[in-house]
């Protein structure tokens, strides 16, 4: 018997209905939107330091003001309610809560998040709190940062402070956002904060992020609500070999280990993959992994957060380390330790303003793979979206048909994956607002809501209205 869902999936132009209870939301990150960089006890994070260093961020932009969400949070929550969002994924600024990364919490910082969460709940919007979205306290970086074990221990203490303050309000928690970027862009290629370029430090950071995740889950379960939902968000790379040859297949295997299994191995299986250890043995003996670490890193999760934007295409190289087409920024230093013989290639077809290929089949393939590898672990798309060169017309409207097409096609891929057996529970559009886009500064606009940076004025784009209708009805219209 052919089900209605299967009939819908086989007709690409037909509307698609998502399962009842599917969670529709949008997402942001603290440093990208909050601003108020020195208010109420907040001290510098590594991103404050990095952005204020000449030459690090395009146009010398910083997050000092960002979109001023710290003062305009009530307006932003009203926008979410107007758009009919069921959930909002945001991150806590570690230095706003615990300025030095040690000691007691600052109540003014916690009060900001208490007010935000209370307003979300009053509007019927589920808060989804991310504990770490790349803004490590600068004092902890000065003490060694993520390459040092003590940082993972400090993270567990900070998690306990957040859970004590918000655990009666926040049901759903994410420990880390994209630890691959924290480790390999922050400590390998240096295109993200703190801007270090040491491949061994990058591997050490990856391990201590794994450990920090496990310790944080334990702290959340010890201090949070009995029904707390715990997760981690990974930017799982969908890696494809350029050709069907054995050499390119091995290049894809090598990058899959460094991009994906370096985290899914410890977090979800309790072990690092043997091929990763072998590939990097000339750099380190991994002696920084202590007895019991992997048991600590592997904690039961309620779902896995998946961030996807574009696939990764690789081939065997000649040893020149051609990594500048990996989509993660230009640097003479590679974020891929032990992968000097891998080249990255721009996938064919349409691209976004980031230069990333638009390919929703990669999301479908990724969800199917994760469902196969971890069949009892639900999935949530915690980030998906695109940057385009948006502008407000003379009437104050922002029309962004390319973004609507991007989101529609990727949601169609999600729906197809669900029909084919993937347990996908929700989708968070990146991002709610145009914001500070890391090393790109304010030059790349991912938001469903346009922000006029000089005035802070918010203008919902055409895509926001379109997404609002999908979120309200749970039905994806046909093309």
Question: Where are the alpha helices (H) located in 224-311, listed in sequence order?
Answer: 246-256, 262-264, 274-279, 293-297
Catalytic entry in 274, 383, 395, 437: 383
Helix axes 107-122, 149-166, angle to 10 degrees: 50
Catalytic entry in 178, 395, 437, 469: 178
- Residue 73 neighbours by CB distance under 10 Å: 19
Q: Which two tokens stand for residue 185?
A: 């862009």
Could you list the beta-strand ranges (E) of 249-347. Answer: 303-307, 312-316, 342-345
Catalytic site includes residue 119: no
What does the alpha-carbon distance between residue 157 and residue 159 come to, in Å, rounded to a whole number?
5
Q: Which of 449, 473, 475, 452 is nearest to 462 (CA)?
A: 449
Torsional sign, CA 130, 309, 252, 317? negative
In DSSP notation, 394-408 reads TTS----HHHHHHHH
Phi, then psi, of 20 in degrees rounded to 5: -60, 135
Catalytic site includes residue 383: yes
Q: Which of 314, 133, 156, 294 is nearest to 221 (CA)?
A: 156
Report the residue count for the chain.
Answer: 479
SS (H, E, C) 154-221: HHHHHHHHHHHHHCCCCCEEEEEECHHHHHHHHHHHCCCCCCCCCHHHHHHHHHHHHHHHHHHHHHHH
What does the alpha-carbon distance between residue 116 and residue 38 come to, in Å, rounded to a whole number?
19
CB < 8 Å & 24+ apart, contacts of 245-248 = 247/315, 247/316, 248/314, 248/315, 248/316
What does the alpha-carbon distance between residue 25 and residue 7 come to, in Å, rounded to a whole number?
27
What does the alpha-carbon distance between residue 119 and residue 100 come to, in Å, rounded to a whole number?
28
Examine residue 44 and say whether the peptide bond preceding it is cis (omega within 30 degrees of 0): no
Looking at the annotation, which residues are catalytic? 178, 383
């Amino acid at each position: 018997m052919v089900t209605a869902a299967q009939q819908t999936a086989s007709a690409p132009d037909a509307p698609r209905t998502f399962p009842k209870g599917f969670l529709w939301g949008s997402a942001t990150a603290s440093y990208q939107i909050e601003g108020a960089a020195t208010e109420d006890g907040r001290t510098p994070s590594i991103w404050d330091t990095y952005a204020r260093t000449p030459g690090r961020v395009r146009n010398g932009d910083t997050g000092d003001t960002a979109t001023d969400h710290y003062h305009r949070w009530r307006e932003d929550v009203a926008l979410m309610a107007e758009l009919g969002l069921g959930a909002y994924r945001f991150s806590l600024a570690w230095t706003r809560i615990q300025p030095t990364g040690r000691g007691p919490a600052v109540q003014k910082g916690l009060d900001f998040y208490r007010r935000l969460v209370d307003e979300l709940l009053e509007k019927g919007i589920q808060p989804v709190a991310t504990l770490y979205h790349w803004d490590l306290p600068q004092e902890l970086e000065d003490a060694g940062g993520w390459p040092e074990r003590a940082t993972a221990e400090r993270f567990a203490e900070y998690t306990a402070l957040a859970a004590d303050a918000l655990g009666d309000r926040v049901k759903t928690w994410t420990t880390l956002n994209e630890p691959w970027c924290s480790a390999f862009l922050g400590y390998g290629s240096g295109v993200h904060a703190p801007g270090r370029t040491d491949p061994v430090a990058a591997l050490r950071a990856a391990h201590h992020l794994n450990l920090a995740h496990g310790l944080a889950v334990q702290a959340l379960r010890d201090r949070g609500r009995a029904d707390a939902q715990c997760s981690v968000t990974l930017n799982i790379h969908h890696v494809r070999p350029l050709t069907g040859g054995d050499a390119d297949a091995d290049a894809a295997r090598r990058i899959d280990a460094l991009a994906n299994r370096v985290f899914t191995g410890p977090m979800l299986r309790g072990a690092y993959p043997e091929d990763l250890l072998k590939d990097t043995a000339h750099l380190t003996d991994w002696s920084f992994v202590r007895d019991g670490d992997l048991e600590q890193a592997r904690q039961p999760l309620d779902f896995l957060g998946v961030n996807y934007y574009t696939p990764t295409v690789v081939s065997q190289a000649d040893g020149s380390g051609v990594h500048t087409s990996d989509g993660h920024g230009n640097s003479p230093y590679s974020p891929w330790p032990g992968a000097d013989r891998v080249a990255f290639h721009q996938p064919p077809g349409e691209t976004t303003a980031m230069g990333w290929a638009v390919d929703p089949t990669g999301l479908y393939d990724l969800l199917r793979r994760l469902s196969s590898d971890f069949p009892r672990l639900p999935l949530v798309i915690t980030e998906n979206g695109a940057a385009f060169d948006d502008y407000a017309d003379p009437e104050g409207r922002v029309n962004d048909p390319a973004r609507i097409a991007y989101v529609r096609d990727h949601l169609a891929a999600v729906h197809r994956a669900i029909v084919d057996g993937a347990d996908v529970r929700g989708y968070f559009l990146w991002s709610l607002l145009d914001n500070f886009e890391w090393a790109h500064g304010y030059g790349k606009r991912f938001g469903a809501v346009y922000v006029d940076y000089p005035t802070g004025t918010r203008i919902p784009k055409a895509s926001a209205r379109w997404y609002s209708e999908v979120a309200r009805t749970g039905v994806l219209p046909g093309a």
